[in-house]
């Protein structure tokens, strides 16, 4: 099974492609799409949609997953990230991919067994589980990998 996983955001969007074969999880590719700070939301959303669609076409995943909850310090950030999640989910739906969503608590629990784990603990587990030489960078990419691992663990 191959999955594309997304850590949603408008300024920085983490993404990862993972695969599970014969009971073993592996990272195919991950990264972070960054959009310029003073770019209009409409253009940022178009860039996000096009990027996700291109990754789906390139890697042909079987499933799609993303983080379902986010925390924002202000309403504008919350609305903008909500809009980004909308175009992300639209890209997955238009590709006819089964969509799963996980809360940060579910991701932390799946990787560490502890729902209050911090970012460093999650990154350590991502690196250890996938036998990587170093933690995926930046943090948004590592978060997307963690979300993808959670899906692979939970979907058998």
Catalytic residues: 7, 67, 140
Tell me the C-alpha distance between 130 and 17, whole Å.
Answer: 13
- CA dihedral (53, 57, 63, 67) positive or negative: negative
Percent of residues in the chain assigned helix, strand, coil, to nearest 5: 50, 25, 30
Q: In what order do the strands lie in the sheet with 99-102?
A: 24-34, 12-21, 2-7, 63-67, 99-102
């Amino acid at each position: 099974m191959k999955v594309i996983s997304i850590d949603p955001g408008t300024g920085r969007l983490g993404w990862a492609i993972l695969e599970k074969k014969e009971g073993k999880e592996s990272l195919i590719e991950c990264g972070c799409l960054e959009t310029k700070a003073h770019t209009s939301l409409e253009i940022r959303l178009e860039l996000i949609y096009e990027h996700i669609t291109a990754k789906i076409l390139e890697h042909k995943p079987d499933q799609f997953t993303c983080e379902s909850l986010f925390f924002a310090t202000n309403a504008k950030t919350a609305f903008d990230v909500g809009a980004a999640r909308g175009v992300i989910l639209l890209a997955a739906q238009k590709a006819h991919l089964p969509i799963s969503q996980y809360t940060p608590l579910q991701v932390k629990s799946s990787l560490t067994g502890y729902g209050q784990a911090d970012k460093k603990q999650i990154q350590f587990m991502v690196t250890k589980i996938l036998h990587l030489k170093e933690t995926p960078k930046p943090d948004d990419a590592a978060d997307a990998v963690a979300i993808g691992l959670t899906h692979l663990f939970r979907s058998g």
